[in-house]
Structure 1
Amino acid sequence: MPEETANYIHGHHESVLRSHSWRTAQNSAAYLLPYLEPHMRILDIGCGPGTITFDFAELVPEGEVVGLEYEGGVLEQARKGAKERGLGNIEFVVGDVNGLDYADNTFDVVHCHQVLQHVGDPVQALKEMRRVVKPGGIVAAREADFNGFTWYPENEGLEHWLDLYINVARANGGEPNAGRRLHVWAHEAGFPRKNIKCTAGTWCYADTEAREWWSNMWADRTLGSIFARKVIESGQITQDGLEDVAATWREWGKQEDGWFVLLHGEVVCRK
């Protein structure tokens, strides 16, 4: 199995899980939902705390969903959540997208959300996803595109944060502008161009509650996630500088006219 060469930039700090646990199939995988049928078997790669995975399980009541995560520690939370929702058709396992422990042609759908931007060889990951999906099945991926993020009002502190993030993400072996590259990676992984459907999606934080949640979450991530250690070790900023970036996030979140939009690339690839 190919060895992973990239390092996950966030880890599973509380602030990171706060963000991941907000995600649902509706707000993060709406582009895929029209393709789902009640009997399908789905592999959800990089499932984290499992909130998208839970929704998939409810949408395929006659099928089965497997949530796969590289770091097993977060799966305790996922399993607890599945039990609380009474989901009997769901399983959570530790695994690596670089070498999936499944036979060829096992799943109807293989899905990942915000995973390929963090791996060293996204084409290899997509090849593995393609291998384990059945003929006629679907590989679906959604990835952020950090240089496509936009906000109001203009803010030099957030520009600084974005530059830091992109530099550290690439130094870690990932590609923070994965969204615009998904269709190319999918074709290189073996999908004919005619079998790749490209779309784009956004998250928008503009009302008071959403803006404050987003800004405070990123302020906490800036100081508490693995990103903080990585960016200081890189020599790009000091601890005091990071404190200033976090303060900028919180100040922006209080702006009555504040508006933040994240761009995502999406692909549905038919085998």
Structure 2
Amino acid sequence: MTQYKYIHGYQEIEQERLRHQAGVIEKPIYDFIDFSENQELLEIGSGVGAQTEILLRRFPHLKITGIEYEAKQIEKAEKNLHSMGYTFPQVQFVQQDARNLDLDSKFDSAFICWVLEHISDPIQVLKSMKPHLLPNAKVVITEVFNATFYTYPSIPAIMDYWKIYNDYQIQIGGDPQVGAKLGDLLEASGYANISLRSGGFHLDSRNSEDKKIVFNYWKNLMASGAPMLLEEGLISEAEIQAMQKAMDELTEMEDAIFYYRFIQATATA
């Protein structure tokens, strides 16, 4: 399969970060999702199975087919899920390009989380998925809206790094603001009953422990792009260290503020 650039890379440390990230941000995403009446779920971009774990824990009756482009991620996902006792036929992972799906089954639900931001043509993914969904199948998509990231105080070492990070995402064909476009993307792809909600974090001195956890999670998220940014010559080691130092300072600052919104869409096929 053709190799595409992926800002986070596939190193083992990154694979574990994805699992940790899923736990940190679980409640803001999943407290608004209900697959209790569904049976067969198609997960696009299942990666290392970080979201698959949560889906099966919250909805243990589901049978999930995860679609993933990268073989290394599937290998890690199978290891992770099998260690928790989840095996075929309750869960299986299929290596395919989500823009050109070729599946034998039809599903009554679909789930996409933090995937379309990495794809140059998200409409192609949504159109490719639709023939594999049953009529009125429930679709839930959660995506980034990176322009909403804000800290108080604002520190140039962080915001300059964030701009380089997001500009590179665009350069390699992604879209760090794709969440804001989900309504239009779903409508253009032929879905119905589209609704959108904004979720995320607004943490200040009233949420000191949660704020520390999220600042650390966000520092690791930004650092996950550092190897690719270094390889491309877009950033220096000194700039990476300055960003991390500034994030650590904010973590310990009592009056610091963390703010970020993602967009969650629901629709039917």
Q: Secondary structure at the match of 2:255?
A: coil
- TM-aligned CA distance change 1:219 to 1:199, over 3 Å: closer
- TM-aligned CA distance change 1:230 to 1:39, over 3 Å: closer
Q: Does 1:143 align with 2:143?
A: yes
1:258 CA displacement: 2.8
Structure 1 counterpart of 2:108: 108
1:221 CA displacement: 5.2
1:38 CA displacement: 5.1
Structure 1 counterpart of 2:190: 190
Equivalent residues in 2 for 1:210-249 (5 A)? Answer: 210-220=210-220, 222-223=222-223, 225=224, 227-232=225-230, 234-249=232-247
Output the TM-score relative to the length of structure 2: 0.84
Structure 2 counterpart of 1:132: 132
1:267 CA displacement: 1.0
Query: What amino acid does structure 2 have at the position aligned with 1:177?
Result: Q
Structure 2 counterpart of 1:49: 48
Structure 1 counterpart of 2:261: 263
Distance, in Å, in 1 between the alignment partners of 2:75 and 2:233 is 35
Equivalent residues in 2 for 1:5-24 (5 A)? Answer: 7-22=5-20, 23-24=22-23
Q: State the percentage of identical aligned residues.
A: 24
Distance, in Å, in 2 between the alignment partners of 1:112 and 1:215 is 25
Query: What amino acid does structure 2 have at the position aligned with 1:51?
Result: A
Query: What amino acid does structure 1 have at the position aligned with 2:194?
Result: I
1:248 CA displacement: 1.8
Q: Does 1:153 align with 2:153?
A: yes
Distance, in Å, in 2 between the alignment partners of 1:239 and 1:183 is 39
Distance, in Å, in 2 between the alignment partners of 1:84 and 1:205 is 34
Distance, in Å, in 1 between the alignment partners of 2:196 and 2:218 is 29
- TM-aligned CA distance change 1:111 to 1:157, over 3 Å: same
- TM-aligned CA distance change 1:125 to 1:5, over 3 Å: farther
Alpha carbons 1:205, 1:211 under 8 Å: kept: yes
1:208 CA displacement: 4.7
Structure 2 counterpart of 1:73: 72
Structure 1 counterpart of 2:85: 86
1:160 CA displacement: 1.0
Listed as ranges, the gaps of 5+ residues in structure 1 are none
1:84 CA displacement: 3.3
- TM-aligned CA distance change 1:214 to 1:241, over 3 Å: same
Corresponding residue pairs, total:
262
1:238 CA displacement: 2.4
1:235 CA displacement: 4.7
The superposition leaves residues 221-240 of structure 1 with CA deviations (integer Å, 9 ceiling, x where unpaired) of 555x4x22443455543232
Structure 1's consecutive aligned runs of 4 or more residues displaced over 6 angstroms after TM superposition are: none
1:86 CA displacement: 2.5
- TM-aligned CA distance change 1:149 to 1:48, over 3 Å: same
- TM-aligned CA distance change 1:235 to 1:63, over 3 Å: closer
Distance, in Å, in 1 between the alignment partners of 2:257 and 2:2 is 36
Output the TM-score relative to the length of structure 1: 0.84
Q: Secondary structure at the match of 1:98?
A: helix
Q: Secondary structure at the match of 1:262?
A: strand
Listed as ranges, the gaps of 5+ residues in structure 2 are none
- TM-aligned CA distance change 1:95 to 1:205, over 3 Å: farther
Alpha carbons 2:165, 2:222 under 8 Å: kept: no
